[in-house]
Structure formats: C-alpha cells, structure tokens
Structure 1
Amino acid sequence: MAVTGQFVGELLAELREFAAVGVNLMDLEHHARRRIKERGAESCYWDYTPSFGRGPFRNVLCLSVNDAVLHGLPHNYALRDGDLLSIDMAVGIDGWVADSALSVIIGTPDPDDLKLIEATEVALKAGIDAARPGNQLGDISAAIGGVARRYGYQVNDEFGGHGIGRTMHEAPHVPNNGRSGRGMKLKPGLTIAIEPWFCRSTDKIKFDKDGWTIRSADGSRSAHSEHTVAITKAGPQVLTRRPGHDTRPGNRSAQPAATS
C-alpha cells in the first residue's frame, strides 16, 4: 500500500500543478489515465457501481468544482479564475489500493475559499493524529468534527472515510463527526482513508441528474482533503504523502499541512 500511496501522492501533485485557468477537466482526466496506464496501475473508479450513481463510473478521477462536494464527473469544462477544484483518486497496484484527495484554488483565491480548504486540511491532520493504537474510531471522528466547529462549519454524516486495503471501500466507516471514546479499538495493521469535507454554509447535499455529482444543497462552495493512513505501533503513517506538501506557491491553494 505504501508503494501505491506514493504513486497516488505523486500523481495528485502533478494534477495540482497542471490545474490552471483554461485547462479543461477532461485534460486532467486524460493525463491521469495516461499516468495510471504507464505505471501499470488500475483505477478503482473505472466501472465502480455503488448503490448511487447511474451506471458504472467511467473515469479515473472525481473532479468537483465549486459547489460540487464529491464524485464530480469529469466533463467538458474549462477551469475559470477563482474556481475551487477538488481532485479525488484511488488506484491499485499489485492488488493494494490507496485513495487520496485535495482541493485547490484556480488562479485568484477568495479568502473564504482558502479558509474552507484550510479547515479540511487541519481536520485531516487532527484525524490522522488521533489514529493511534489504543484510541477508538470515535476519537478520529471527534477530532475532525471539532475542527469543523471551530472554523464555523457544519458536518454531513452521510459520506466520510472508510477502511481500505485490497479494495477501495472496506469496513469500517469513518464518520467526519462523532464522540471520542466510542467505536472500534484502533490496532496496528488497520489501514483507513480519512477524508474530511465541508461546505461553507450547510451540511445538506443534493445529487445532480447524472446520479454521481453531489453538491451542497444551498450552492455554497465545498472542499475535500483525504489521505490513506496506516495505524502502526509507532503511530499513524501517511501512505499518500504528496511531494511539496509543505509549500504554498502563491495563488495556487492552501497546501496540505504536515500530517505526522
């Protein structure tokens, strides 16, 4: 999983730099397809058929723009100045899977968008810090929810993190809100995807007619951050670290904070 995670982190870093004003979402999608094929990896999204969605998912990225929260379908759309883009991807290499997501500002940043992205990144770090042997699943959820409330955001409980290993979605479900000291005991060897996402002014969501793209119910913008994390005796190990994660290049975005 560490090998897969390294590839996912590197590709997300590439996509973050590639995303700019005028770049089409399909250009990002096709870049990712080429890189996945070159690496001999397999997309976990292609042909994915959960209980929601219409038909199998036929892309390797989820690209969610502005009020799109999760599962945004890549389509013919040229990124505009000020757009907030979330990029989510999961692949497998030699039967082991990793999943990660980030949010970036395209061109000129809105301070409120930077704050929103920062909140997801701080919440991700807090969740990872709580992913230690002897803690419980609720400690991760409570850490994420606590950050959201400090930033003034509400939390939706319908979609959150998840177990991951041989497949993209495994037990347990990792909610983005909860009570500390509750839930399963965390033990070394458990691997989970921790993924806080928040909307500016609501915790309600709605689906597009495509059955995949999830948006904030009130049209407010959203952001999403995610890492695949292994719980070890020495503490949490982030498997999807991205090169340059601690840099903040001008008007690109609030880059992910250090996570261990």
Structure 2
Amino acid sequence: MAQTVDVRGGGAPPTLEDHPPTQLPLQNRTFTGPAPQTRHPLDNAVWAALTGPHAHLAERVGLAARYPADVYAFAALADPADPAAWADLRRLAGPGATVRMKPVDHVPDGWTLLRRGEGVQLVATEALRTAPAPEAEPLGPADVPEILDLVARTRPGPFLARTVELGAYLGIRHRGRLIALAGERLRPAGWTEISAVCTAPGHRGRGLANRLVRAVAHGVRERGDTPFLHAAAGNTHAVRLYESLGFALRRRSAIVAVRTPGTPGEDRPL
C-alpha cells in the first residue's frame, strides 16, 4: 500500500532584501493575476523544461525525467495520473530513492509520500519594468564556490555545484566579494524562472536584489521569454515585494518528496 508520512511542510517600494524569509499565514492575502490554464507548460514546468530547452541536461526513462543530482534535485512525470510514468520514475531513480517533484494527491502502492511544501507561482506582467544592471557581472562555474557561500548564508533555496548551468546568473560585488545574486532556473519553452535571489546580510536595504531581478528579467525578455518565479507560500513579505515589481499570482503550487518502492541497492546485480 502507498504510505503518507508528515505531509506538512521555505513612497518608494520596499526592497527584496529588506525581508528575509518568514513563515506567515497566506490566507488573509488576496492576489490578482492570470487564471491557470489547462495543460499550460507552467502547470508541469519541470517536465516542460526537461523535454524542451533543458533536454540536453535531462536524465530520462520514458515518461519520467530528472535533472542531474548536482544540477537541480527535481524530477517530473509526463502525466502523474499515468501508472506507466511512475514505473519509469522508479526505474530512473532506483529503489528506495527520495525524489522531489510537483505535487500529487496520491502515490502508487509501494511508494511513500514523505513531505509537502506549499508555494506560489507568479508571472511577470506588463507592469514589470526591466533594465540592465551596469554594476552586475555574469557568473559562471569559476564563481560557484562564492555562490555556494552566499547561498549558505542567505538560504534563498537550493543551489548545487552545477546549478549555474541552468541559465544566466548575475552577481554584484563589494570590494571583490560577492554580495548579491539572481539568475535563471527552469526554462519551459517561452518561459524562464528567476531564482536564487539573495543579498548578503549587511548589504540589504540598498535595492540590490530588486536591480538584479529586473536585470535578469531584462535578459529573459530580450530573447522572447516571459519571466516567472516561485516563492514559499508562507513568505508573504517576498510575495508582496515581487508583486510590487510587477509579478502577479498565477497559481498556488507545492513541492512534494516521495520515496520509491524497495530498498536502496536491491536492483544491483550480484
């Protein structure tokens, strides 16, 4: 039988870095924005990215795909209602593996639903004013140690050794040290997610993250894509700030962690 374990769950306008993540109730806030559409690529953004612009990064078995473990720890199914897709995911991930993916209400027999985190998905509107940030510099593989250090201190979300390969990342330095960051993550066709937005303590309140978000969004629009992003549902400060920049709620979203059937290593040949 399938199991479920602990599915409870990350004047001038204020700046993004003024408010580190907080867990506040969301139900009293009213959002406006585009209504979700059936079969929209953002409804299954990881799958749309892995079978689209990020196909070169995809590890795939049939109806299941995932990013390499050191790029982005997420997997996706073509259709979570299809048992064949779950069978492919089990073959892809192996027995007894923990997999993070878009929300599902039920998992097949033998699988375990470990936890669930609630979030929101926002998309850019015409109100979003974008512009390059002259003080920002492109970041690449050589900058990863500094990026990981900044991410560890600010906790904007997961960033791994090869996450920088997902898209363009921009950073701002102070006296040679990286103090602010933003970049691109998921890329469904026609869309690009802005992610890893963070500013080092001691440099907040200067609008650095705002400028980086606008700069990353500028590059996204320059190639014809529409920016979007995700935020934790409880982080209402960040959501309000993204709205002040010109993003609007598209849908509520979530992340789940599931465990595949079996014991790790049981499929290995003797």
- Judge same fold: TM > 0.5, yes or no: no
TM-score between the two structures when normalised by the length of structure 2: 0.30
- TM-score scaled by structure 1? 0.31
Greater relative contact order, per chain length (Cα 8 Å cut-off, separation 6+):
2
